[in-house]
Structure 1
């Protein structure tokens, strides 16, 4: 399999021809350190030259199997034909007018697609933005405007962004919140059903976590004061935590009974990533609002809030917007991305990735007691690494394992509240041979460690 990437077809192969990082990447890294703020970190210290299909090629000629997708962004590949074609055509027409000055058809088309694709058959409307954090922030604005309430309930291990409000909504201190306060008020955090770490075991997790969360909301906030309950149906930066079955439906029901807007943050889990168009479909949840970004536009910056028309229409005219929100080129890219997802049936491709990867990851967990848990769905999978004999997180081994993979031509990402989770987010268009080879690299790195 090859993929066009702004020139000759990009060979779909792992190839390590220099040390990692190579000399050209080292030279560019020195320039980065001189010109770019230190707060902008780097997972893998190589500089990309081309990318597509299931590989990323660096400036030194190394080709890495991509198990990261730019953090779940390039599910359709880094240079999908329909994305490039549609974005290029729009680029030649105009790059910007600002939708609040003179609107354009691609913005409307994206909103129409979101109404079709998101769960539920009720009337829906959308507003488009630039980033996931902007989408979450605007979902909160919409919920507050609709309910005339202020409090927002979020969950342990949740991640929602890096703006002031979304830092308040995010659970993890380092690196997201440390030294950046004070944060926005009226945010309340409650337990999430984390099966691997639930004290009484996974069997009781859903019922007990839901009961604790609802009890805390009633006691500490008052359900009548809550504008929104906001949760990732499959938690991303918190460690690819799949809430125990039954937990999300109970929270959604509680929200409905108390006039609270239930918001599904599908920024990392949406757009076919979990084997369904949206992760909340797994338990039949129909959120009042859903936030999307990342996978929506094949790498172009775009985000959305989609929801019940009467809720989305609550803010006054002019109350939602932003100069670049729903940029026409990004909207064209999103239409190309959605076209690709449909034509290639990427939900089925994500399920196939799970069929290949999960049994091998489970086999590795049987061989190596450093792997405490294997979890996730579709092309959103993870292993949690612990000190043998218990559940104490082992971030040092996790970092060493990631480094070993990088040096052997496999791009992997770590995550988790405790820094001890390795996550796997391959593009859904990746070849099965590359999936197998990437797992071979992982297995070799584990054996060496």
Structure 2
């Protein structure tokens, strides 16, 4: 431990002052979980405006993939900023073309690919569903319960991880039908193979209410993020691929949270060797700068005519420079670190689970890890209040975490997190679990 974590009460006086100012001028819709007010960060460490030190195992919701202020990313951004800040996607420049070349090289399609660049995950999803409609001439889609794909009106039609994201915004884009995501821990269907059951359910829809000939695409997260860090059973994504091929439906993988090395592979879908037709990226692609991409097979993207879709800030030189530097760093060693340190992290969490009955399951791949908390009376009953308490106590102990799903604590530190930092986080997590359990009389 390089220095003590908490030096003041939380929030401290400087943090309280800024939060009060913020309340007067910033939308209250942001879902802020606890009063952390950041001053600066380096790698996995961050400091608040009162000098308190934290380990950041949320990483800006899996955005700060190379850690905070990585020197190579900062240098790339500074170098680009010295030349020009913006020219719009009506023109060409090296950073934009270079990023397109990188994405084409690493894309998991198994054939030539092209990219549409934007600023966020929701914009990437909007581009994906527009392209799917454009090239298929079809209007319907299938999404998954628990999925999160963004908050703009097209992507919101697919988002179903919490009803609060939809409440008050009906009607969203029509034509989206949701089906269950296969969850081996909390199965909705009888039988051992939830993936097969979900595929059978989709086939039933095709027979009874959703003509397959009208479905443009199926949009799915290879590992479900906001819905609980749910890892699908083996064979499920391959089954989706076969089902789409059978009916001429496009398969879209939303890799906004799981892509660019997060799971120990460049893309989560590569764990199962399944190629999408279209893929959406954002979050960790720019190490904190707002950049997204919709990547598609070239034979699909090339059908778009001039003006069919556009974006003023797409391909911004600053964000592209950050993305190019990020991909360089991920390929140069952070990808392997995510796999090896992630395995160490899972082992430490499994050891912790052996001593805490409230930990129902530890799951994930690489550094996309979920710890499901459950009630003592039933190992599958979500412990929502306990999950919130653990996240809150972790903050007070100097560890930044977020939750997802019904009662899952998620861990998504920078891809260059060290084993020592993981061990330090485990120690803080143990303290936080003890405090949360004591607070509920357990």
* 2:290 aligned with 1:297: no
Specify whether residues 23 and 264 from structure 1 end up closer, same or farther in structure 2 by C-alpha distance, changes over 3 A only.
Answer: same
* Corresponding position of 2:26: 36
* Corresponding position of 2:89: 99
Give me the whole-angstrom Cα distance separating, in 1, the residues matched to 2:125 and 2:3: 38
Mean Cα displacement is larger for which, 228-237 or 205-214?
Answer: 205-214
* Corresponding position of 1:7: none
Give me the whole-angstrom Cα distance separating, in 1, the residues matched to 2:198 and 2:146: 13
- 1:193-234 deviation digits (Å, cap 9, x = unpaired): 111110457832222122112322442211111101110000
* Corresponding position of 1:435: 422
* 2:322 aligned with 1:324: no
Give me the whole-angstrom Cα distance separating, in 2, the residues matched to 1:174 and 1:99: 36
* Corresponding position of 2:58: 68
* Corresponding position of 1:421: 408
Contact 2:218 2:249 in 1 (8 A): yes
Contact 2:189 2:197 in 1 (8 A): no
User: Among residues 124, 129, 133, which one is paired with 1:144 in the alignment?
Assistant: 133
Give me the whole-angstrom Cα distance separating, in 2, the residues matched to 1:313 and 1:165: 22
Contact 1:14 1:64 in 2 (8 A): no
Give me the whole-angstrom Cα distance separating, in 2, the residues matched to 1:12 and 1:269: 30
User: Among residues 4, 9, 13, which one is paired with 1:23 in the alignment?
Assistant: 13
1:287 counterpart SS class: coil
- 1:356-390 deviation digits (Å, cap 9, x = unpaired): 21122112222222212111110000111121132
* Corresponding position of 1:387: 375
Give me the whole-angstrom Cα distance separating, in 2, the residues matched to 1:226 and 1:218: 13
Give me the whole-angstrom Cα distance separating, in 2, the residues matched to 1:334 and 1:256: 32
* Corresponding position of 1:315: 304
- 1:141-189 deviation digits (Å, cap 9, x = unpaired): 0011111101111111111000011111111344311212221101111
* Corresponding position of 1:8: none
Mean Cα displacement is larger for which, 167-176 or 429-438?
Answer: 167-176
User: Among residues 133, 152, 156, which one is paired with 1:167 in the alignment?
Assistant: 156
2:147 counterpart SS class: coil
Contact 1:151 1:225 in 2 (8 A): yes
* Corresponding position of 2:328: 339
CA positional deviation for 1:81: 1.6
- Structure 2: gaps (5+ residues): 438-442
Give me the whole-angstrom Cα distance separating, in 2, the residues matched to 1:235 and 1:81: 31
Contact 1:196 1:202 in 2 (8 A): no
Specify whether residues 333 and 194 from structure 1 end up closer, same or farther in structure 2 by C-alpha distance, changes over 3 A only.
Answer: same
* Corresponding position of 1:254: 243
Contact 1:154 1:230 in 2 (8 A): yes
* Corresponding position of 1:180: 169
Give me the whole-angstrom Cα distance separating, in 2, the residues matched to 1:231 and 1:302: 21
Contact 2:212 2:247 in 1 (8 A): yes
* Corresponding position of 1:356: 344
- Structure 1: gaps (5+ residues): 1-10
1:187-206 to structure 2, matched below 5 A, reads: 187-199=176-188, 203-206=192-195
1:218-297 to structure 2, matched below 5 A, reads: 218-297=207-286
Give me the whole-angstrom Cα distance separating, in 1, the residues matched to 2:420 and 2:85: 39
* Corresponding position of 2:440: none
Contact 2:119 2:290 in 1 (8 A): yes
* Corresponding position of 1:5: none
Give me the whole-angstrom Cα distance separating, in 1, the residues matched to 2:101 and 2:32: 37
- After TM superposition, the score normalised by the length of structure 2 is 0.95
Give me the whole-angstrom Cα distance separating, in 2, the residues matched to 1:300 and 1:408: 28
User: Among residues 13, 37, 44, which one is paired with 1:47 in the alignment?
Assistant: 37
1:398-409 to structure 2, matched below 5 A, reads: 398-409=387-398
2:161 counterpart SS class: coil
Give me the whole-angstrom Cα distance separating, in 2, the residues matched to 1:399 and 1:130: 31
Give me the whole-angstrom Cα distance separating, in 2, the residues matched to 1:242 and 1:351: 16
* 2:99 aligned with 1:110: yes
Contact 1:151 1:226 in 2 (8 A): yes
* Corresponding position of 1:4: none
Contact 1:381 1:424 in 2 (8 A): yes
User: How many residues of Structure 1 are paired with residues of Structure 2 in the alignment?
Assistant: 435
CA positional deviation for 1:12: 5.7
